[in-house]
Chains A and B, each alone.
Chain A
């Protein structure tokens, strides 16, 4: 067992306390939402719920499932994440590998790199973006949520740098044995890219799960909203809307008194991230430092 000095022990104690408090700060809002979601409406309206349910009820969850809209949005998000992950991973691998080559091997490499890098800094604006998607006939289609973010450039750079950090001899040996670039990519590179792929897959998953603006812009029918767009609308500032709507308030009031219902749906929306994260956490930590090895 490693010997620890007194100073190190004290540091460790304070370190654990500090990290514990930070963790608590992160966890408390989630615990509060969970408590609200299981509480009766009057206790929520009365501000009596902190971290433990008051007037325990599962009505909010029953409402979320019965209303149909939550589950529809949940299903759209599942489709989006699945398709998004497949498209992202395919484009990431097939882009990062050639761009990891030097200009001696791939003469146009820098031009392609500049082309991709520009998109990280400049955008075309919402209206041209909308017109493009509209002209491509992708409005109200799941592809409008998948294709525009098909190649996440930041993740591509992470993957590219990881490939550059691999020993050249791996690829050279395969080439000597007669493998082409596609064989090298599929048979040699992919297996050793596992940590980096897991990292960018996590980024991709989180992005597709949390992104809400595209759903708002490109989905003509709210029943096609992905979950985060649905939740974003649900969390709109009701009091401002009530004032603005004047007498036509009844629908809004009904929603305003559903704070516990919203909390339940927020928590349900969190579950997939909570499920995926433990599986990918070790790769995630590893992946975060990949980009810093070689740039």
Chain B
């Protein structure tokens, strides 16, 4: 009887939940009504004709000139599960697809979409089934060999002529900012993929983040040297109840990113990501092979002995215990990305107090004469390619140019309502996808405009959705102490923000860039995983089980176990 009652209760609960949901399944209650943009669009020629995938001669004129008859692009892309569409819209019918059709007479239809972590599997299946879509995107997360395999097997279209003749000047100017990235997708002088680029190198340098209320209570000391940093950690531990000095987790990335303080540049070994630069002979070598890395190891070993590093760090999951200690007030220093505010801000403010968030500073150095240099890694986020059978590459270039015009250009006469229509609630990410070529200056421009608007109180000059949202979020923190605004505020909302610190590094040349300007090289496959050896042995050194000099032996093993292959490959492709 009891069992039947329980089953009845649970059944009732499920049915009630289901019907409750069905009565209110609108994606978002406060979604603004879908309104046509105020941007003028030209009349669509040949509107009575069916869109075709057959070749249509590109029209005379610049990239804005529409095709004389409707062109169809069959595409594939990644799609996030948390992207929202307005009522009646979907991936094939939304503000952006309507814009392509109305403005350029290009009709985009997605043959399939999948999540970013599954796109490689779906591409492999599509290749096996012989039905590659016209246009698709190979994300940064995919195997870097995929592009080269497709190209070498003749499955990709040569986009060179279309790119040169039909892409907008703005798109082609990205080559001037970063001439090397597109080379990675160029074979024998012909372009087979348009890089998606990145939001800007300004978001790459890591900063030393200090807990604000503790830092100010300690007298806001200037942290120019490593000794200053150690004194601050000691103060936090002695006077403010911190259990240890600096947040370090089990994959050591937060610690490895402090290496520039000692003149060492090493990347994140856990991910087999090495930082490559030339030694005094001109040979490119990984950061772990430079003597400065031994200095860093010596400091880290001392930090562990002094209790600056948690005794439990080897078992601390970065998104579990590592983050818990930060928001629970057990540590007040962390070396981290510029987006600290989004990751930890709302939680630490909610659990501690409104001044308990962390603020960014440039990394100190041993002598304190300059801040530590910011490390720049290869930042490209993916590549847009077309299958060899695609007939209308000019249409692809026109759509790419149109998206760039709307998302990044200051020349687009968009009102805040238009920006909301095209980019609100993640629509920019959800719908432009493979057609979005990111302006490599986007974040720098955004930072400059948002900071100026916050300082003057005049937001009339903001012209992209990103600028508007960062401005609104920063104001929400400043005006209402809304913790969800902390992310934008700490990133770019005041003179001491993360981007302001990064800007200082760029302005004064305190930047160092890895020589490996790609995600990987074909030869790396033969080298296998070389990171585990380093990780294991570095941990033994940090906890004092091995002397620092032991790393010289480890380095020999690293070269023998595949490091030499990597170093030779990097020198072959990027040396000299």
| A interface residue numbers (CB < 8 A to B) | 40-43, 45-48, 65-69, 71, 74, 126-127, 130-131, 134, 139-140, 216-217, 220-223, 230, 233-234, 236, 238-239, 241, 243-251, 253-257, 268, 271-272, 274-275, 278-279, 281
Contacts and interface: CB of A to CB of B under 8 A. Distances in A.
B11 A275 contact: yes
Contacts of B199: 247-248
B299 to A, nearest CB: 24
A134 B129 contact: yes
A127 B129 CA distance: 8
Nearest to A55: B350
Nearest to A78: B18
A288 B474 CA distance: 61
25 contacts: A41-B347, A45-B344, A45-B347, A46-B328, A66-B28, A127-B124, A130-B129, A134-B131, A216-B118, A216-B121, A222-B113, A233-B118, A239-B318, A245-B116, A245-B140, A247-B443, A248-B199, A251-B429, A254-B342, A271-B10, A271-B13, A271-B14, A275-B10, A278-B4, A281-B3
Contact of B324 (A45, A67, A216, A254): A45
B271 A243 contact: yes
A279 B7 contact: yes
Given A42-B346, A45-B327, A47-B321, A223 B379 contact: no
Contacts of A43: 351
B128 interface: yes
A246 B324 contact: no
B90 interface: yes
Contact of A253 (B28, B129, B339): B339
B346 A41 contact: yes
Given A42-B327, A251-B82, A256-B343, A131 B129 contact: yes
Contacts of B327: 42, 45-46
Contacts of A250: 339, 342
Interface string B331-351: 000000101001110111111
A55 to B, nearest CB: 8
A278 B6 contact: yes
Contacts of A131: 128-129
Nearest to A233: B115
Given A47-B328, A241-B117, A251-B429, A69 B81 contact: yes
Given A220-B111, A221-B112, A247-B381, A67 B351 contact: no
Contacts of B29: 66
8 nearest A-B residue pairs (beta carbon): A42-B350, A220-B112, A47-B324, A45-B347, A278-B7, A65-B21, A42-B347, A244-B141
Majority DSSP secondary structure for residues of A touching B: helix
A146 B285 CA distance: 55
Contacts of B559: none
Contacts of B557: none
Interface in B96-132: 110-118, 121, 124-125, 128-129, 131
A47 B271 contact: no
A41 B117 CA distance: 25
B interface residue count range (under 10 / 10 to 19 / 20 to 34 / 35 or more):
35 or more
Contacts of B27: 66-68
Given A127-B128, A256-B319, A268-B17, 8 more contacts: A42-B346, A67-B82, A69-B81, A134-B129, A230-B81, A245-B140, A247-B198, A253-B343
Contact of B379 (A221, A246, A271): A246
Interface in B401-430: 426, 429
B457 interface: no
B49 interface: no
Given A127-B128, A238-B319, A253-B342, A222 B347 contact: no
Contacts of B323: 45
Contacts of B302: none
Nearest to B5: A278
B22 A71 contact: yes
B25 interface: yes
A244 B268 CA distance: 11
A239 B118 CA distance: 16
Nearest to B91: A221
A213 B320 CA distance: 28
Given A134-B131, A233-B115, A248-B199, A71 B80 contact: no
Given A241-B117, A247-B204, A278 B343 contact: no
Interface string B538-550: 0000000000000
B41 interface: no
B20 interface: yes
Given A130-B125, A131-B129, A67 B24 contact: no
Interface string B74-100: 000001111010000011000000000
Given A233-B81, A243-B271, A247-B199, A68 B26 contact: yes
